[in-house]
Amino acid sequence: MTNTSLTLNEINELKETALKMRKTAIKMATKAGEAHLGPALDLTEIIVTLYSKIMNYRASDPKWPKRDRLILSKGHGCLALYTILAEKGFYEKELLDTFCTQLDTLFGGHPEVKVPGIEANTGSLGHGFNIGIGMAKAAQIDNFDYKVYTILGDGENQEGSIWEGAMAAPNLNIDNLIAIVDRNHLQVSGRTEKIMNIDPLKNKWESFGWAVQEIDGHDFSQIYNALNSAPFKPGKPSLIIANTIKAKGLSFAENKVEWHHKVPNEEEYRIADKELGLGGLNDD
Amino acid sequence: MMTKEKLDLKSDIATRVVLGKAITDLGLKNEKICTVAADSESRFGDFVKKAPNRAVNVGIAEQNAVSISAGLAFCGKIVFVSTYATFISMRACEQIRTDVAFQNLNVKVVGTNSGFSPGWEGFTHQALEDIGIMRAIPNMTIIVPADGEETYNLVHQLADYEGAVYLRVRGKKDDPHIKNKGKTIIGKAEELKSGEDITIIACGRMVYEAVKAADILSEKNISTKVLNMHTIKPIDKEAIVTAAEETMGIITMEEHNTIGGLGTAVAEILCEKGIGIPFKKIGVNDRFGIPGKTHDIFRHFGLTSENAVKTAEEILG
Ligand SMILES: Cc1ncc(C[n+]2csc(CCOP(=O)(O)OP(=O)(O)O)c2C)c(N)n1
Ligand SMILES: [Mg+2]
């Protein structure tokens, strides 16, 4: 039993939002015929919790200087971000129809700062996390108390720049930075253990000076409690290892390497529709 | 998988698909060949499975991939190291310059998914600067094959071509086959069409557009010389000078920034030789890419045979 500070009602609401986001993401990906769907689906619970319960922001004033910031360092998971930002009113939901279907769309395969609520251009791995360190440092300089959240892929942990940042953040004494590793054990060509093992991940980050917690990345209570208690140790940046299942929620795709960059075909859409109640591709 | 079926090199087969087949065929014959991947290893075809001992995967770590390649090459290996053109040419740029190029090691750096071939992936993945960056590094030979067939032949030549190379290929689709091509010789432009009025010098995917433009122009009684400049460096100066002598204007076409790439290389030769001739660069005019279908992006930036025709007509007045 985890000792939760979310009520059952709240959890049910979050679950509802998560389901809605998953359905929208699956439809968007299917319509576009091309997307990183698996890498977005596994972020759903984390992103819903951040934007519904944790982060301070003003959807109508996305550049409000004191806002909390989220940087999706694994930018290819952007469907999760596009859908929650629409849900929270950063822009009209109808705009999502242009996702990878309209030339020069706001919503391409990787997030760009021209989208309200997107804080950095990511897509090239090993940048966003480090940009987040700069933003967290700026809060310190400006005496603002905003927090910076950043989500990394576990494969992304293989980039050297991540470890340059891992070393820098504790040295800069920033504790308003919370990094979340999406630990799904998969990357493009296989399992992280096989391609380039990153374990023991917790020890690595701890030895660089971070306070680390490990959670189930699909359990709202655990996600909320971890995020809500950050910084875990005053003066230290916090790292959450979120154990996730890639493509979570799309039963036949879960934990399968090929679903890194795959979208449902007709038959698969039909199965997903049965399981999740998607309705027609163009229904709302 | 693809080596089981025979690839038809005379068909519209994608350069990145051919790359895997070519490296596999070559690597299984030549024991010196090694591959280094940064996560995605499908670009090496079946080689990784068939010669696992000579295939290294360093994970998502481009800088490490290139430095490790240099180490392998120092010990006598012929190394193909490859990932997206953006990431390998920019993230690992200094490793290419200092670890590979300075001592002209036998490392063949292969940038894939170049130009607008990543389409919807957007500007982070669209490489429009890589040729310019590589041109500024001494010792680098830069090769941009026009189609699948040329990719296959060039990869095979690279095994015997001493030194550091940047090979630029595209993605898994959209590489139409160029008909009636002859043999590709590194460093030598290939004349695909002879002509007297105007010359189009193109590389990579734009060669197809250049040939198409020449066909349209010939219907309008304009005779167009088309040069496939697959080797951007060292560039074939003689071919450029001859084209300037034989025709009344030169157009370059590339899927790249107009700064630093093929157009710039040709302009440098014309200027240094003191040749005054009408000259136009078709490419991306110092802009970042946008998400879209590759063909729509081509139209948006004017990387089309239609634009080449229009440009030729403007030059010839
Ligand atoms: C610098 C860089 N190198 C390579 C890529 C290509 N790429 C896109 S996603 C990906 C795998 C990412 O794996 P992981 O970080 O575990 O993310 P997941 O999709 O599993 O959440 C790779 C290699 C990239 N986008 N950026
Ligand atoms: Mg992963």
A103 touches chain B (CB under 8 A): yes
* pLDDT band with cut points at 50, 70 and 90 for residue A282: confident
CA dihedral sign, ordered B293, B298, B301, B302: negative
Structural domain for B144, as ranges: 15-168
Whether residues B39 and B84 share a domain: the answer is yes
Cis peptide bond upstream of B118, omega within 30? no
A253 lines ligand 1 (CB under 6 A): no
- For the segment A136-149, the average pLDDT, to the nearest whole number, is 98
The answer to the question of residue B8 being in a domain is: no
Does the structure show a pLDDT above 50 at A144? Answer: yes
Does the structure show a pLDDT above 70 at A90? Answer: yes
Does the structure show a pLDDT above 70 at B97? Answer: yes
Distance from CA of A82 to the nearest CA of B (A): 15
Q: What is the pLDDT of residue B65?
A: 98
The answer to the question of residue B174 being in a domain is: no
Q: Do A109 and B40 touch (CB under 8 A)?
A: no
- Atom 10 of ligand 1, nearest CA residue: A188
Does the structure show a pLDDT above 50 at A254? Answer: yes
Please state, rounded to an integer, the average pLDDT across all residues of chain B: 97
Does the structure show a pLDDT above 50 at B221? Answer: yes
Q: What is the pLDDT of residue A2?
A: 45
* pLDDT band with cut points at 50, 70 and 90 for residue A1: very low
A127 lines ligand 1 (CB under 6 A): no
Q: Which residue of A has its CA nearest to B88?
A: A124
A244 lines ligand 1 (CB under 6 A): no
Instruction: Count chain A–chain B contacts defined by CB atoms under 8 A.
Output: 86
Atom of ligand 1 nearest to the CA of A110: 25
Percent of chain B at pLDDT > 90 equals 96
- For the segment B241-251, the average pLDDT, to the nearest whole number, is 98
Cis peptide bond upstream of A200, omega within 30? yes
- For the segment B185-195, the average pLDDT, to the nearest whole number, is 98
Distance from CA of A10 to the nearest CA of B (A): 36
Atom of ligand 1 nearest to the CA of B40: 23
The answer to the question of residue B29 being in a domain is: yes
Which chain B positions have a beta carbon within 8 Å of A121's beta carbon? Answer: 123-124
The answer to the question of residue B144 being in a domain is: yes
Whether residues B137 and B229 share a domain: the answer is no
**So what's the architecture of A8-276 in CATH?**
3-Layer(aba) Sandwich (3.40)
CA B150 vs CA A64, A153, B19, B147, B198: distances in Å: 53, 37, 10, 5, 25
Torsion angle (degrees, nearest 10) of CA B268, B270, B276, B281: -70
- Could you give the number of structural domains in chain B? 2
Residue among A74, A121, A262 whose CB has most ligand 1 atoms within 8 A, to mutate = A74
**Is A76 within 8 Å of A284 (Cβ atoms)?**
no
Does the structure show a pLDDT above 80 at A162? Answer: yes
Distance from CA of B61 to the nearest CA of A (A): 5
The answer to the question of residue B141 being in a domain is: yes
Distance from CA of B90 to the nearest CA of A (A): 11
- For the segment B89-104, the average pLDDT, to the nearest whole number, is 98
Q: Do A105 and B42 touch (CB under 8 A)?
A: no
CATH of the domain at B246: 3.40.50.920
Which residue, of B135, B168, B201, is where some domain finishes?
B168
Does the structure show a pLDDT above 50 at B1? Answer: no
- For the segment A121-140, the average pLDDT, to the nearest whole number, is 98
Percent of chain A at pLDDT > 70 equals 98
CA B262 vs CA A122, B97, B233, B254, B266: distances in Å: 29, 20, 9, 7, 6
Residue the block writes with tokens 């078709």: B282
- DSSP 8-state secondary structure symbol assigned to residue A42: T
Q: What is the pLDDT of residue B254?
A: 98
Q: What is the pLDDT of residue B2?
A: 44
Whether residues B195 and B162 share a domain: the answer is no
CA A162 vs CA A42, A74, A159, B82, B275: distances in Å: 21, 12, 6, 21, 51
CATH of the domain at B105: 3.40.50.970
Please state, rounded to an integer, the average pLDDT across all residues of chain A: 97
Whether residues B242 and B206 share a domain: the answer is yes
A184 lines ligand 1 (CB under 6 A): yes
Q: Tell me if residue B79 falls in helix, strand or coil.
A: strand
**Is B109 within 8 Å of B72 (Cβ atoms)?**
no
Q: What is the pLDDT of residue B123?
A: 98
* pLDDT band with cut points at 50, 70 and 90 for residue B247: very high
A186 lines ligand 1 (CB under 6 A): yes
Whether residues B147 and B200 share a domain: the answer is no
Whether residues B158 and B208 share a domain: the answer is no
Q: Do A155 and B296 touch (CB under 8 A)?
A: no
Tens-digit pLDDT profile for residues B21-51: 999 999 999 999 999 999 999 999 999 999 9
Whole-model pTM: value is 0.96
Tens-digit pLDDT profile for residues B116-164: 999 999 999 999 999 999 999 999 999 999 999 999 999 999 999 999 9
Q: What is the pLDDT of residue B5?
A: 60
